Amino acid sequence: MKFILVKLPILDRYLFSQLIIFLIFSVSLFAAVGVTIGTVSELTYKINEYNLPLSTAILVFILKIPEYTAYALPIGTLLTTLLVYGRLNSDRELVAFRSVGLSLYRIITPAIAFSILITGISFFFNELVVPAANYQANLLQSSFLEETELTLQRKDIFYPEYQDTTAQDKELKRLYYSEKFDGKRLVNMTIMTWSKDRLNQIITAKYAKWDQDKEVWQLIEGQEEKLTGSLLSTEVKQFDYQEISLPATFFELVKVQRSPEEMSLRQAKNYLNLIIESGSVKKIKLLQVRIQQKMAFPSICLVFALVGATLGSAHSTINKSQGFGLCVVIVFSYYLLGFLSGSLGIAGWLSPFLAAWSPNFLGLGISGWLLKSINH
């Protein structure tokens, strides 16, 4: 970082050094407050109610730090630019810069460049660290708690498989149901097969496994029922062990069952490809919106930096307490807008792209208008 700063003009080096110091402080503050408020009371309850070991609770607490750090990065960027440029304004340093011919656009350029760097860091942090840490935190608790997000995802697993009949229509081909997935096997498995809109086969098994080498399902302790058009059994076959050739999609689904917060962008896209055939429009829309939000979220740093630098440059009376209050209002407004647009996207009223990116576009538009209005 020092080598990069040496190569920069004096103005940029000065502003970068100010921004870095404030950002470290802001992100540390918000991350510490967030992880403490968000996890300590919950973990204390789990220790008392479910006898969650203290050592496990400490590990979970540590594993939740990346998630709250990721949330703190854009908020810290907003507070940093707001306070740094507010101080430059109150100390009349902005007046000095502009008196030598520098435009406000040039003065704010270091904040924009700085936010682009933070955006890149935020993206890779959210891709490589946060999903894995969240999944491990959930995994650590699952053996001690009756219900966690992970255990709920692995109970009462249901998946319909469709086949295309025309360019637009699909018909149900198979229906898969399992009571639970224990990490290796599906328990109490039921497979119902349709042909020409008629149920013609029901297979049940106590356990089901996927054989990767043979690419077949291994069914243990079950029965196969073949049905006529009147749904009367024509043949019932009991078996201790049976191999059947079916797609591996259902096993792939249960193995990668995670919430969107526990998936990287690549994992979310792969999971979306798996559930496309399920026909669950709401679930597909939800994942499509979440994928776009994963790409849009890091760029909030750029939006907040421009908003903070512009407001700080426009108001010379912003102190730390006022800056913090203004930061809270902006962040609350932004996340409220993000929640509303995301909900509209999941409901199908907005495209997934607009649902995720419209708050960013609106923030850039407002900050650009403010910047233009005060650059005179």
Sheet holding 198-211, edge to edge: 155-164, 170-181, 186-195, 198-211, 216-227, 233-244
Start-to-end CA span in the chain (Å): 34
Report phi then psi at 319, rounded to 5.
-100, -175
Segment 297-313 mean pLDDT: 91
CATH 2.60.450 domain locations along the chain: 155-256
Given a cut of 70, is residue 278 above it in pLDDT? no
- Rounded to whole angstroms, the Cα distance separating 167 from 294 reads 31
Its pTM stands at: 0.77
Residues paired with residue 239 on neighbouring β-strands, in sequence order: 222
pLDDT at 196: 74
pLDDT at 282: 78
- Rounded to whole angstroms, the Cα distance separating 359 from 310 reads 18
- Rounded to whole angstroms, the Cα distance separating 102 from 113 reads 17
Length of the chain: 376
Instruction: Please tell me the CATH code under which domain 155-256 is placed.
Output: 2.60.450
Q: Quickly count: other Cβ atoms within 10 Å of residue 75's Cβ.
A: 24
State the burial class of residue 339 (Cβ atoms within 10 Å of its Cβ: 0-12, 13-18, 19+): exposed
Q: Give the CA distances from residue 297 to residues 125, 139, 204, 303, 335, in Å, rounded to whole numbers and listed in that order.
A: 12, 25, 44, 10, 11
Kindly report, residue by residue over 68-115, the tens digit of the pLDDT.
999 999 999 999 999 899 888 888 888 888 888 888 888 999 999 999
